[in-house]
Amino acid sequence: MKIAYLINQYPAVSHSFIRREIQALSDEGLEIWRFSIRPAAKLVDRADQLELEKTKFILGVGIFGLLWALFRTAIARPRRFLMALRLTIKIGWHKDKGILVYLAYLAEACVLLDWVISADIEHIHAHFAFNPTAVAMLCNVLGDIPYSFTVHGPESIDRAVVLSLEEKIKRASFVAAISFYCQSQLYRWCDRAYWSKIHIVHCGLDKPFFEQPITPVPETNQLVCVGRLNEQKGHLILLETARKLALLGIDFQLVLVGDGELRSQVESLIIQFDLQDRITITGWADSEQVRQHIINSRGMVLPSFAEGLPVVIMEALALGRPVISTYIAGIPELVESDCGWLVPSGSVEALAKTMSQVLQLPTDKLSQMGQVGAKKVALQHNVAIEARKLADLFRQTQGKQLITEIVIQETPISVKTNCRLPLRESNN
């Protein structure tokens, strides 16, 4: 079975979980074609660089390519094009990005449709519920290509109305939610009639995380935070907490692995709080470097304000390091008192108390907690197991499509004309 994977930017530094999922689906016997709306920024991981060679970029056709695809589709499929245009206006009218952006999505869908039909692809799966899913949905209207999508967290759920999330769920073959929390939030935004479409498929880790022996927690005062330097990860609260610990005379080192739009502000606060000797920013790091930073630390801290269920938490636990994080979204489904600590999001006092505790606990206790976390991740977030669930959903969709084709081909619409309606429209 041929599946098109559609992502806004792929490959990307923060999308290693998608790369793992694609490989696991390939191991399940599916043929995965990679499509991205646009290329990502600089790639530091060799595995991502290899994925880049396998990915086609829709915006790579240029403005004239988009216009030509729009024109050609309108001529070849006038009825379906008008249906897609009406849907485009419906989901784009009075929305924050403006109708022209949604018309661009329609053009992108026309390009994708041509590629999908040329490759004889049977299903489109989008990651994230914003523009990739909009393009997949419009492609479905244009060419009757079934689609599904994965929802991760606040970037979709917080903007459910703006993103026409219910419309996307209604038209999809199925929806994958990465946690029970995510599933429950999708229930909020769609009619109960569509709840059965929403399935939990966790993000997962691959064999390298599960096959290597867990190293004991080192005798170090270092903690690590891995994540993009942006508002939702809580770095500014973490810096406030670090200043408090420093004023209390607690000895620690904090490594921030990542980069992002808040970097200049983070660097300014480090200087303002006189923490230059205590905090290091590494910038973007490849998978092996991230792994080593986690292993070299007593534990990981991620004081997020908004999340789905961060893959880096799975990585830290799989490597035997306990985690400090916050009571939000899907995080409590994995981080419990036997493998980490949860604090109220935004509380400097609670975070400082917990970080101080972790810095003072015996390393054998931390190692014990890390081993418990590693077992949980192996049970709940093995990408091979999760990809099997996803593959089954794709195959069920293929089965339903086949049944539909048989029924349509064998059931006359009109007794007088004995005409039959093809499943995929080739001319209009």
Same domain, 114 and 200: yes
CATH of residue 252's domain is: 3.40.50.2000
Report the domain count for the chain: 2
Same domain, 194 and 92: yes
Q: Cα separation of 363 and 322, whole Å?
A: 11
Same domain, 118 and 258: no
Q: pLDDT digit string (tens) for 59-111? A: 999 999 999 999 999 999 999 999 999 999 999 998 888 899 999 999 999 99
**The residue type at 151:** V
pLDDT at position 67? 97
pLDDT confidence of 40, banded at 50, 70, 90? Answer: confident
Q: pLDDT digit string (tens) for 211-257? A: 889 999 999 999 999 999 999 999 999 999 999 999 999 999 999 99
Picking from 264, 262, 202, the residue whose alpha carbon sits closest to that of residue 231 is: 262
End-to-end CA distance of the chain: 26
Q: pLDDT digit string (tens) for 410-423? A: 433 333 333 333 33
Same domain, 85 and 55: yes
Average pLDDT over the chain, rounded to whole?
92
Does the N-terminal peptide bond of residue 303 adopt cis geometry, omega within 30 degrees of 0? no
How much is the pTM?
Answer: 0.90
Answer yes or no: are the C-beta atoms of 20 and 205 closer than 8 Å. Answer: yes
Give the number of other CB atoms < 10 A from CB of residue 53. 8
**Which helix (H) or strand (E) covers residue 300, if one does?**
strand 299-301
- Which residues fall within 8 angstroms of residue 101, CB to CB, at 6 or more apart? 92
**21 within domain boundaries:** yes
pLDDT confidence of 44, banded at 50, 70, 90? Answer: confident
pLDDT at position 43? 85
The answer, yes or no, to whether residue 124 has pLDDT greater than 60, is yes
Whole-angstrom CA distances from 75 to 71, 104, 139, 421 are: 6, 18, 16, 20
The answer, yes or no, to whether residue 427 has pLDDT greater than 70, is no
Q: Cα separation of 134 and 310, whole Å?
A: 24
* Residue 250 domain boundaries: 210-380
Same domain, 303 and 396: no
**427 within domain boundaries:** no
**337 within domain boundaries:** yes
pLDDT at position 404? 43
